[in-house]
Amino acid sequence: MLARARVEENLPTFIDELTLARAKRGDLAAFGVVVARTVPAVHGFLCRMLLETGQLADVTELVHETFLTVHRGLPSYTLRTESDLSSAVLMIATRVALARCGAQRSGRPRSPSGALLATIDGRLRAALLLRHFYCLDDAQIGSAIGTGSKPVDGHLDRARSQMQGVSDVRAWLRGAALPYSSAGLADAVMETVAAGHHIRREGVARSSRFQQVIIASLVGLVLVLGVALGTADSELSITVAPAEARALPAPVVAPAREPVAAKSPARIEETTAPSFAPARRAASPKRRPPIDLVANARQAALAGDYGRRSRLCRAALEKRPDDVHARSICLVSACARNRASEARTHFRRLPASRRSQARQQCLTHGVELGPDIADLITKATRSALRNDYRETLRHCGRALSLDSKQHRARVLCAIAACSLGQEASAQRHLARLPADQRRQSRQVCASKRAR
């Protein structure tokens, strides 16, 4: 029987690179840590995907199938952090759930929201869960549902439109209505994985022994035929080397080491005496690998602890202020805790490519982020083209209140102030512009004064 420790006891707070490398090499104890860290997320995802079946056996069977697939393919994955591991496991769970949803569409829904969710296509439901609950990006969602990254936004829009009018959608997304518990599931999964691992190892050992017997028989047959052909008078004139030539070469003996005069006698004995004890690992000066704060924040969100999730993301942003993923998680956490001002601060620091997605996530939690800076500048430009400079000043002022480093909005403010005769305001805006933009803006203002 394979020795296996219980995976739910002495569980570490994160999966480091050493544990991940051991799991990829086939260490069952390390893979048990992987299972214990990821089985709540996989179990919750499969429960939400199969709300229309209402059967615990289906969910448990799919959890076992998911981790058996992960155990077989883990050596071929390129994983660096626990966040990469969680994303890969969720993608495999999505494919397993979609295969089951396509093969079986039966059962009674558990609630009115479950009845509506049962009518939504499995890909749309999976895309909605992976985006709003597990915070995966477009490429990961597209790979999980098998459509690529481009159609993901369309799937999300269709899923949101079909779920409008349901009262407990937000509670369902937060996992408040999970039908089953994942307690003890990690041990059951590891029993299945350990049994499959033992069977595969025995099969490989038997096949290797069979190959060794076949090779030895073929070598013996070749030697017998060679001797027979070499001693007979035939046209082939095949000769066999004598036994002395066919013998194995003598082992090469390494020259003896010269005594080292500078070392002490005890040190010389240590150097020259053979040691058959296993070598101990020397103390490494390297520091412990950093904790994957983003992965821990995702685990806190699965448990519904949005306060801890926000603290972990802020710690991640202190180390890496440009981490867009951590910034997005902080934004969603602030929206879930109904902190609109904090959410707007994170929203302004996101790149333009992620703002539309973040706005939709905040609307899911009922938080309105207000106008976007790009929209305000567009409205100000259109007002300036219509010579409505007061409207231009109003839109540019709102844009500068959100971000004072928007030079385009400041240029429009300076031009509008010159057109309205507000010289002091125009000079203040011009003084805060870079040198090249300041020269161009002064030329435009001079042309406005000449008119």
372-405 confidence digits (pLDDT tens): 677 778 888 888 888 888 888 888 888 887 777 7
Place of tokens 């005496």: 273
Length, in residues, of the chain = 451
Give the Cα separation of 166 and 173 in Å (integer). Answer: 12
Q: Could you tell me if 324 and 351 are in contact, meaning their C-beta atoms sit under 8 angstroms apart?
A: yes
**Regarding predicted confidence, which is higher, 390 or 204?**
390
pTM for the predicted model, two decimal places? 0.42
Longest dimension (CA), the chain: 120
Mean pLDDT in residue range 356-384: 76
Q: Which amino acid is at 269?
A: E
Mean pLDDT in residue range 195-215: 56
pLDDT at 245: 43
CB contact set of 168 (below 8 Å; sequence gap of 6+): 111, 113, 176, 177
Mean pLDDT in residue range 299-305: 61
